[in-house]
């Protein structure tokens, strides 16, 4: 298996893993793994080490909404200008250009539905390129970034099998 | 009527047991005692399990559910679903350039274990000898005995990375030898054999006109090098009965589905026994197997990559502890040596279980030449492996 692929797959599933453990899992030296990770961090292959949190379990957690936006494009500026502008708001967690009947899809996070609704009304809908917005609040998250949040699956195996 | 009942009860009284001599001649499995012991104790970490710790990939489980929803609950043809046989034939053509006729040369079984039993009964006459390389999976020797054959075991050892040699096999050949039985990648050692190694075995088979039964259930779990199908060797497609299945590669142990590939005379004979005893493999499992072959590559690769990581963790771990462990290149077993520990594998495994709550299988269970070793499965989570290694380290220190 390719070492870079191997390291990335290990880290993607467990960002807290020690370098020494990655060395043990891949049969390489500590230094080799450390240097490889430095390089992957340096060249931007590894963007960030992220934690998936089930905010439903936390008091005063967050409210999420998916916002669909239709935009009108000006001559000589494409989607990138408006997308870049929207991306700068910390409330906006993701920005994607979409196919279909709207153009840009956002994930917005706030402390309350009211806060999210006002943010969209005041900051997004008022942008000159934005024609219309539609806000869909997330009621419950079942799976996030490949992780099932209410996982109950476990199987019992016999302790010793030939 | 009354008279005959009296006769029967009198004869029962005289007999020591109602169990046949053949079955009595097979000792109880050496694993049984450890199984019972592990069951009585709390907090046991097990490296004693010969099955994947992954649950069957969801798309395969989903296809089982779909099959049931669609009402597929009937028998299938004795040989197995034609679609599954065609899919298997296609896989062997694609991966190994081997032509197997799905109508006459492929039989779907309820796992490889059933298939091996069928092959032995189909091939052996009473007293025929089967050369089995050891250490080996616990069922091989009993299966030969149940079929009226005589198992002749040949030892492999650490000095040759647990590969069986043509020389040892040739030394064991007699006029009664009919079959050579091998299993690479190997349970319990994790050993693999390369093409050149296998060709030497094939030469012996051809010279003495022997059938080779090759259990290749762990073929997909080959980490270094490439697996060679025994039947792909020159002149061996006619003389090999090849076994494989879905249990290990697709984590489908409980679904019980495997297959046998071989020439039409032997597959036909095996089908005859299968039709009167098993009838067919469960249809749900066969439909799941079709999905595994069509869509299972990515999930299988993911599991194989994870086994490979654990292989490094566990083999290096044993070598650090001071239990020398050779680099098995396949399956999901490490086979560390306990030479110098001053006890037998049985004693070591029992004390390890009682004192440190770690379950491993003593190597002698798989044949005498396994006596100085332990079989440790790395089909267990990384956390379980790390904790087990720590406890084994403490145990070795305490000796």
Exposed/middle/buried for residue A18 (C-beta within 10 Å: 0-12, 13-18, 19+): exposed
Domain endpoint, select from B260, B295, B330: B295
Q: Considering CB atoms only, which of B34, B138, B305 is closest to A1?
A: B305
Distance CA B310, CA B280 (A): 36
Give yes or no for residue B116 having a pLDDT over 90: yes
Q: What is the pLDDT of residue B311?
A: 97
pLDDT at A56 over 90: no
Q: Tell which of B243, B262, B295 closes a domain.
A: B295
Domains held by chain B: number:
2
**B78 lies in the same domain as B115:** yes
Residue A90 has pLDDT above 80, yes or no: yes
pLDDT band at B140 (very low <50, low <70, confident <90, very high): very high
Question: Do A24 and B39 lie within an 8 Å CB cutoff?
Answer: no
Read off the pLDDT band of B14 (50, 70, 90). low
Q: What is the pLDDT of residue B142?
A: 97
Question: Which residues from A are below 8 Å from B365, CB to CB?
Answer: 162
- For the entire predicted model, the pTM comes to 0.88
Percentage of chain B beyond pLDDT 70 is: 96
Beta-carbon separation of A159 and B312 below 8 A: no
Q: Are B44 and B68 part of one and the same domain?
A: no
Q: What is the pLDDT of residue B374?
A: 97
- In CATH, what number is assigned to the domain containing residue B390? 3.90.1150.10
Looking at the fold, whether B350 and B255 belong to one and the same domain comes out as: no
**Does residue A25 sit in the same domain as residue A60?**
no
- A26 and A66 assigned to the same domain: no
Residues B240 and B118 in one domain: yes
Residues A127 and A62 both lie in one domain = yes
Q: Which two tokens stand for residue A110?
A: 């706030």
Is A123 within a domain? yes
Q: Is residue B224 part of a domain?
A: yes
> Total domain count for chain A?
2
pLDDT in tens, B276-319: 999 999 999 999 999 999 999 999 999 999 999 999 999 999 99
- pLDDT by residue (tens digit) across B354-379? 999 999 999 999 999 999 999 999 99
**CATH number of the domain residue B261 falls in:** 3.40.640.10
| Closest residue, chain A, to B225 (C-alpha) | A1
Per-residue pLDDT for B195 more than 90? Answer: yes
Chain A CA closest to residue B361: A160
Task: Identify residues of B whose CB sits under 8 angstroms from chain A CBs.
Answer: 29, 31, 34-35, 38-39, 44, 46, 48-51, 53, 55, 137-139, 187, 305, 308-310, 312-313, 316-317, 359, 361, 365, 382
| Mean pLDDT estimate for chain B | 94
- Please report the pLDDT score of residue A152 as a whole number: 65
> Do B310 and B248 share a domain, yes or no?
no
> What SS3 class is residue B357?
coil
Q: Are residues A11 and A34 in the same domain?
A: yes
Which residue in chain B is spatially nearest to A28 when comparing CA positions? B312
Assess whether pLDDT exceeds 90 at residue B34.
no
Q: In this structure, is residue A151 part of a structural domain? A: no
- Give the number of other Cβ atoms within 10 Å of residue B320's Cβ: 12
Structural domain containing residue B84: 58-295
CATH number for A18: 1.10.10
One domain, residues B227 and B370: no
Q: Which residue of B has its CA nearest to A5?
A: B305
Q: How far is A130 from chain B (nearest CA, A)?
A: 41
Interface contact A25-B49, CB threshold 8 A? no
* Per-residue pLDDT reduced to its tens digit, B146-174: 999 999 999 999 999 999 999 999 999 99
Considering the domain boundaries, does residue B2 fall inside one? Answer: no
Are B359 and B45 a contacting pair, CB within 8 Å? yes
Residue B11: pLDDT above 80?
Answer: no
| pLDDT at residue B3 tops 70 | no
- Spell out which residues of chain A touch residue B359, defining contact as CB-CB under 8 Å: 159-160
Closest residue of B to A13, CA-based? B306
Same domain, B206 and B69: yes
Residue B343: pLDDT above 70?
yes
* Residue that terminates a domain, selected from B295, B321, B355: B295
Give the structural domain span for A76.
55-140
Do B270 and B369 have their domain in common? no
- Residues A128 and A66 both lie in one domain: yes
| Confidence label for A119 from pLDDT (cuts 50, 70 and 90) | very high
A155/B49 Cβ within 8 A: no
A33, A95: one domain? no
Strand B177-182 relative to strand B211-215, pairing: parallel
* Residues B128 and B244 occupy one common structural domain: yes
Given an 8 Å threshold on Cβ–Cβ distance, is B305 in contact with A155? no
Using DSSP bridges, classify how beta strands B45-46 and A147-148 pair: parallel, antiparallel or unpaired: unpaired
Determine the Cα–Cα distance for residues B223 and B220; give it in Å rounded to an integer: 9
Q: What is the pLDDT of residue A54?
A: 85
> Are B331 and B375 found together in one domain?
yes
């Amino acid at each position: 298996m390719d070492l870079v692929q191997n390291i990335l797959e290990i880290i993607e599933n467990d960002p807290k893993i020690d370098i020494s453990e990655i060395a043990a899992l891949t049969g390489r030296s500590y230094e080799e793994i450390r240097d490889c990770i430095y390089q992957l961090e340096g060249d931007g292959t590894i963007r960030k080490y992220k934690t998936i949190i089930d905010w439903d379990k936390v008091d005063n957690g967050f409210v999420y909404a998916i916002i669909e936006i239709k935009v009108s494009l000006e001559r000589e500026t494409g989607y990138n200008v408006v997308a870049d502008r929207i991306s700068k708001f910390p409330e906006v967690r993701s920005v994607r250009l979409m196919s279909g009947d709207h153009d840009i899809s956002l994930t917005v996070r706030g402390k309350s539905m009211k806060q999210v609704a006002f943010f969209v009304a005041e900051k997004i809908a008022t942008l000159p390129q934005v024609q219309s917005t539609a806000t869909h609040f997330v009621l419950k998250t079942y799976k996030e970034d490949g992780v099932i949040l209410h996982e109950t699956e476990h199987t019992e195996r016999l302790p010793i099998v030939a | 009527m009354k008279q005959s009942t009296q006769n029967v009860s009198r004869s029962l009284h005289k007999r020591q047991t109602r169990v046949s001599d053949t079955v009595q001649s097979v000792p109880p499995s050496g694993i049984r005692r450890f199984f019972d012991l592990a069951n009585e104790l709390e907090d046991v970490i097990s490296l004693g399990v010969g099955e994947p710790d992954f649950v069957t990939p969801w798309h395969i489980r989903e296809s089982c559910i779909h099959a049931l929803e669609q009402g597929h609950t009937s028998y299938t043809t004795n040989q197995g679903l034609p679609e599954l046989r065609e899919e298997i034939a296609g896989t062997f053509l694609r991966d190994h350039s081997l032509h197997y006729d799905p109508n006459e040369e492929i039989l779907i079984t309820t796992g490889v274990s059933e298939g091996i039993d069928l092959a032995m009964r189909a091939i052996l006459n009473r007293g025929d000898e089967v050369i089995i390389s050891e250490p080996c999976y616990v069922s091989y020797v009993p299966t030969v005995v149940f079929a009226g054959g005589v198992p002749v075991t040949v030892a492999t050892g650490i000095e040759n990375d647990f590969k069986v040699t043509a020389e040892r096999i040739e030394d064991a050949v007699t006029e009664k030898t009919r079959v050579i039985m091998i299993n690479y990648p190997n349970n319990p050692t994790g050993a693999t054999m390369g093409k050149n190694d296998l060709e030497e075995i094939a030469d012996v088979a051809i010279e003495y006109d022997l059938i080779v039964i090759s259990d290749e259930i762990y073929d997909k779990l080959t980490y270094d090098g490439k697996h060679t199908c025994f039947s792909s060797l020159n002149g061996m497609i006619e003389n090999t009965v090849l076994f494989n299945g879905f249990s290990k590669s697709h984590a489908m142990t409980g679904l019980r589905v495997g297959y046998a590939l071989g020439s039409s005379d032997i597959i036909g004979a095996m089908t005859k026994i299968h039709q009167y005893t098993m009838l067919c493999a469960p249809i749900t499992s066969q439909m799941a197997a079709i999905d595994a072959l069509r869509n299972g590559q990515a999930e299988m690769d993911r599991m194989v990559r994870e086994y490979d990581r654990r292989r490094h963790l566990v083999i290096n771990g044993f070598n650090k502890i001071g239990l020398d462990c050779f680099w098995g290149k396949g399956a999901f077993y490490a086979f560390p040596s306990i030479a110098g520990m001053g006890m037998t594998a049985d004693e070591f495994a029992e004390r390890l279980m009682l004192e440190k709550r770690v379950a491993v299988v003593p190597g002698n269970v798989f044949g005498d030449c396994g006596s100085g070793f332990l079989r440790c499965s790395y089909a267990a989570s990384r956390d379980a492996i790390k904790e087990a290694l720590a406890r084994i380290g403490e145990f070795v220190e305490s000796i």
